[in-house]
Every structure is written in structure tokens, then in C-alpha cells.
Amino acid sequence: MTTSVSIKDLSLNFGNVKVLESLDLEVAQGEFIVLLGPSGCGKSTLLNCIAGLLDVSDGQIFISGKNVTWDEPKDRGIGMVFQSYALYPQMTVEKNLSFGLRVARMPKEEVEARVKRAAEILQIEPLLQRKPVELSGGQRQRVAIGRALVRDVDVFLFDEPLSNLDAKLRNDLRIEIKRLHQRLKNTMIYVTHDQIEAMTLADRIAIMKNGVIQQLADPHTIYNKPTNLFVAGFIGSPSMNFLKGDLNGGTINVSGTPIPLTNYAFEQQLNGAAVLGVRPEHVAIGEEARKMPFQVESEIEIVEPMGADTVAWTKLGGQQLTFRAAAEVHLEPGQKVLIGFDPARGSVFNAETGNRI
């Protein structure tokens, strides 16, 4: 596997504010990497650095084996898609697509061929003579993708491309981007704050916070084995339950309720303050709960029917616990139910450092 984009020891400061600090990232050829994080975590900044739209303070960027740290965006072999589409409003779709090629003074036949191919792939041929204002949001974003496509580049950069679209279109275009990646097999770096987009699209997700990559792994690992409390809380909706307690000899005591962590694969030994993370979807109720290694009787406080399933809020040892139940299960506030889960599927964190143990 060859490296497509390689970022070495990258730092970026705006005055005294350190946005990115000694960041390293290796992206393999053809890989789909998602940079995920809350706003202000530096993910878009990192993407702009890769694109060459921001000058870095320190470090190096390699694209396809070439050091592009000082290169202009156009010389880096990248195409970029922006959140606000950034289509040139006074040009037709065709002119929008061909703008970069015309700037580079490419022969006319070549330009036409490339525009035709991109329009075919994205199914926007009927729109070629229209202006961006005459297009819907989804069509505009396709054109924006097409503008990256015609450049015939190695690396595609997406800066929150679906954030301006409504929920249904977002789903449709997400699938199309995935299909596009499977067809073109280009390297893609995709910035988003939407965890669903990240989970569904990525080969690997890089979760960022305060300019530092917290965890870089495939979606399955990110979801099941989060490396720290931040990642655990950021991924998953409703978010993971955190039960604070005292860890002692393989049992965590949550405000008087002991939960034995049998079969949990500890990465390190620790006795003291710890946090047990349990995903709401890993909590079972009723008959299912009886099969679980840990069971407890609890009273339901709030019920949120979501349609496909129901989220219920309850308490365990005085601490908030949510769980997901099938939509058919009838739940009412005040009802007492038996809930249970397998602590081995959960995650245990050091309460002080927040890291997984």
C-alpha cells in the first residue's frame, strides 16, 4: 500500500493561538479518511493546509510522494469541494466545470472531453447550460464535486460538503459520494462534524479535538473501543452512558452498586476512580436482560419514542442511564423494569486522564 498524503509534524498558529500542533497523518492511496470533530477542533484548518490555502507554521506536507509544503493549491494535485458549493454565480455549469482547465490553458477538445465525462459520472448533463441560481442544493453540490472531478487529480478534499443540504438529500448524496469513491478509487479526505457521515463513509476516521488527533482508526474500532472519554462521548447517538465509580480488583462500584467487569479486556491495571462507559444500544430490558451478566431493577423517568426505536432515561446508582429499546416495547414513566448489560462490551476509562484502560 503506497502513501498518498503524508503530513509530518504539522503546526499552525494564528498569532499566539495554536490551531494545529505537531500533527502527523498518513493516508494510504485510495483511502477514504474522515476528519471528524466539533467546531473549532482544527479539522477544516488541517484540510485548508493540505489544500495549500493556508500557510503552515511548521512541518511538511507530501502528496503522492512530492513535497508540496510550499506549492500553490493548483500545483498540489488536489480538487476541493466546499460547504457553500462556491460555484461561480455568473458562469454556467459548463463554465464552472471548465474554469480551472481554461485557466490552465488546456486544449479545447480536452476540456470538452473532461467536462463531458464528469457530467456523465455525476448525471448533470441536462444542467450544463444553466446558471448555479437555477439549480437546487443537491444539484449545486454535484456541480461542485464535478469541478474537482474534471481536474483529474489524485486527492479529493471535501470540506463539510453536505452540511447545507436537508436531511433527505444529505443521505442521497452521501451514498453517491461513497459510490463515486468506489468507482474512482481516489484518495479522499473528508471533513465533517456529522458522525453518521463519518461512520458510513470512512475507511478510517480521525477524531480531532483542539488541533490534536484523538484517535485514528476504522469506524468499528472507534465505535467499540474508543480510546478516551472524548471519543466515546462524541461518537454514538444517544451518547454513551458514563457511570463514575471506584475500580477495585476488577469490580467497579457505581455509587453503591457493584458492577463486576468480568471478561473485560483491560489494557492496563488500575485501582481507583474510573468511568464505565455503556452504549445505550447495549442495554437490554425484560427477558433479554436476564441473560446479561449484570442486571438491575430501575425506574423509567422519561420516554422518547423515535419511531424505529425508543430511548428511555433511567438511573443507575443515582447516575443518568439511557437505553434503547425496541419500538414495540411499551414503556411509561414510573414503570419499573429490569435492565441488564454485558460490561465486557463497555469501555472503562481512567477518570483522571480520561484514557481507556
Give the footprint of other proteins on this chain (CB under 8 A).
Answer: 48, 51-53, 72-74, 78-80, 82-90, 99-100, 103-104, 147, 151, 159, 332
Shortest Å, Cβ 36 to other proteins: 20
Query: Are 142 and 97 contacting, i.e. CB atoms less than 8 angstroms apart?
Result: no
Q: At its nearest, how many Å lie between other proteins and the CB of residue 74?
A: 3
Query: Cell match 508540496: residue?
Result: 68
Tell me how far apart the alpha carbons of residues 247 and 343 are, in angstroms, rounded to a whole number.
Answer: 13
Q: In 3-state terms, what secondary structure has residue 17? A: strand
Closer CB to other proteins, 97 or 213, in the complex: 97
Give least dist CB 80 to other proteins, A.
5
**Residue indicated by cell numbers 482544527:** 42
Closer by beta carbon to other proteins, 85 or else 230: 85
Q: What are phi and psi of 165, to 5 degrees?
A: -100, 160
Instruction: Name the minimum Å distance from CB 99 to other proteins.
Output: 5
Contact 8/24 with Cβ under 8 angstroms? yes
Q: Which is nearer to other proteins, 131 or 225 (CB)?
A: 131
Cell numbers 442511564 correspond to what residue?
321
Report the residue number, 84 or 320, with the smaller CB distance to other proteins.
Answer: 84
Smallest distance, other proteins to C-beta of residue 107, A: 16
Report the amino acid identity of residue 168. Answer: K
Nearer to other proteins, 55 or 125 (CB): 55
**Residue whose cell numbers read 480488583:** 249
Residue 140 contacts residue 85 (beta carbons within 8 Å): yes
CA 62/CA 84 separation, integer angstroms: 27
